[in-house]
Amino acid sequence: MTCRPNTQKIILISIFVLTLKFSVAADYCHALQAQVPETGQKISYAAGDDGALTPGVLLPSPRFTINGNGTVTDNLTGLVWLRNAYCTDTVGGVDKSNNTLTWANALVWTNNLASGKCSLTDGSTVGDWRLPTWLELESLVDASKYNSALPTNHPFNIGIGYYWTSTTHAHYSDTAWYVSTGDGYVYANYKTSKEYVWPVRGGQFGNSVASISPVATDFGTVTVGSSSSQTVTIANTAASGSSKLQINSIALRGADPDQFRINTGNGSDGSCGSLTPVIPAGSSCTVMASYNPATVGGKSAVLRISGSDVTAPNKDIALTGNGAGYTVTGSISGGNGTISSANTVIVGNSAATFTLAPNANYQPSTTVSGTCPSGSWSGNTYTTGSISADCMVGFSFVKITYPLTLSVSGAGTVHTTTNPATTDMSCTSNCSQSYDIGSVVTLSPSAGVGYTFISWGDNCGGSDVCQVTMDQARRVTATFADITPPDTNITSSPATSTTSTSFSFTFSATEIGSTFECKLSNGSWGTCTSPYGNSIVFAQCTTCRTDSQLSFAVRAKDLAGNDDPTPATWNWTINFPIGIPIDNVQDGGLVQLPAIDFVNDLTFSKEITFSLKGGYASDYQSQIGMTIIHGAITITAGTVNMENIVIAP
């Protein structure tokens, strides 16, 4: 540190003791030997520069820990500081309401500070706190800053001022050293003067001694992908009662730091437990250094351990090792591509990886030759199995292929031909075939019997021959339609002549899945199913007969929507007793009877007038004879006009 006198303070001193003006000024600025941080320069541009020597220590991150009990721990030194340096509480009978104290009162005030004062809840008791030494107080100074000279973002309640240390000037015992938080310099002043007070607790800083063993380690020859380890012991060899050794950094540097590892351990692979252990005087802990070569050849690094040993803040251990491995050679047969990564790979007990660069329209063949353990593909990259000896692997390239997927609906066949020629398909349902990239595939439809080709779908269009270029995966659908209508058959029916007014039909079609439509006599077509049944109810009539001639028709419709053009039909006659039409004839109506014999007794009891005519032919268009009624006719009401009726016993 470069020191300069504080002129303003020296002038103040000269008012009281003029003879001390110059002699005191020359002595009151003290050069400090303390830990300073590294500059971060790693490249050396000249012998002896900081890139070559890498002096200083790595500052811990975070630098300070707020303990939540009114105290702050400096992770660089391990010292514990009062967070509120502006505390004005009265302690040990010393009034600090004006914040500054004489040196003697500062000693009393700090030595009597305890939990419950100055927002402290740390459980400290009288005697735990003290004035810091000038070395301890100066350890908080950041020499790169001015006004204030404390570290950026420090957590303390403190301003710019002069703070007493517990250190008395060696030559002028009536003076003591203080530190300026404005410029970071160390000065001396009379002990009767009043300065600010900043208490500290913890061991005296600056008398820890770091010892590292071994000082160098050669790991020898290690297979790439394997590792070799060495225990490193970090000890604080200072005498009992000395300060703790605060390790601020355990880090790798040098030529090949990425080839080495540090394990702070959990008790088995090291006992330090972190990269910033605190080691009491007379104690030690261990870390595990390992060599993990990723490439072959000699490798070196430096394990630097930085701590609070002010005489030797950095301890370096030279690490060396030689990486050895197996040679894996890749080759190409047949051309059409190259190995874009290295053709020869050196590995340890691990896999080798090769990346291939195929020519346009080519891809790596999944078939790999050679003597290496089988591996796997990921895109154009092939990774072998674990290598345990020198071996070779052979690659080749094949044309890129894309699948053509066909889906045929209906009875028909799709035939393919390819340019350039290759294996083709004749597909009747669902088919797939792979073709070289750029191939042109011609698809031709051929309808089955009773079917016709309707259309293409997906990657084909139209209703004729189609062509697709195989520059990607393709899908084509072909639809053939049924053009043959079904035949309909009535499988059961009523008798052609019956007296039953109920009837039932069953029917079927020649095509499975067909639906049906039915029609009764002069009715309309309607959806129906087999069996189909119904009944006839004789209703009021003006022209009434003793029989009813009915017809039934049914037609099938196939799944393609084709209707049977010749529906199945059935005709039958229902014969009613003579009394049925007579009971239902309306006033002024006509009852027609065929030229046959009836055996019935008839009674007329309705107040209506109607005609009863007989002797009709079966079509009721003309009278061809007589109707003979065997039975009695009784008329109790109404009028009946009879014609061609014979009443016989």
pLDDT tens sequence across 483-516: 999 999 999 999 999 989 999 999 999 998 999 9
pLDDT, residue 58, reads: 64
- Report the 10 Å Cβ neighbour count for 559: 12
Give 437's DSSP letter. T
Length reported for the chain = 649
Residue found by looking up tokens 């020649």 in the block: 510
Q: Looking at the chain, which residues constitute the CATH 2.60.40.10 domain(s)?
A: 210-324, 488-575
The DSSP call for residue 493 is: -
Q: What parts of the chain have a pLDDT lower than 70?
A: 1-44, 47-58, 203-206, 266-268, 310
Residue 440: φ, ψ to 5°:
-105, 120
Specify the CATH architecture of the domain 401-482.
Sandwich (2.60)
Reduce the DSSP state of residue 464 to 3 states and report it.
coil
| Dist. CA 225–CA 326, nearest whole Å | 11
Q: What is the pLDDT of residue 347?
A: 79
Cα dihedral 50→55→61→67 (10° resolution)? -150
CB 327 within 8 A of CB 392: no
pLDDT tens readout for residues 223-274: 888 899 999 999 999 888 777 887 878 999 999 999 999 998 865 678 898 8
Angstrom distance (rounded) from CA 339 to CA 216: 42
Measured between alpha carbons, how far is 256 from 299 in angstroms, rounded to an integer?
6
Q: Into which CATH architecture does domain 210-324 fall?
A: Sandwich (2.60)
Res 267: pLDDT: 59
Give dist(CA 375, CA 587) in Å, integer. Answer: 105
Would the CA dihedral through 353, 359, 360, 364 be positive or negative? negative
Give residue 588's identity as a one-letter amino acid code. G
The two structure tokens encoding residue 175:
């003076």
Q: Does domain 488-575 have CATH number 2.60.40.10?
A: yes
Q: Which residues pair with 355 in a beta bridge?
A: 381
pTM score over 0.75: no
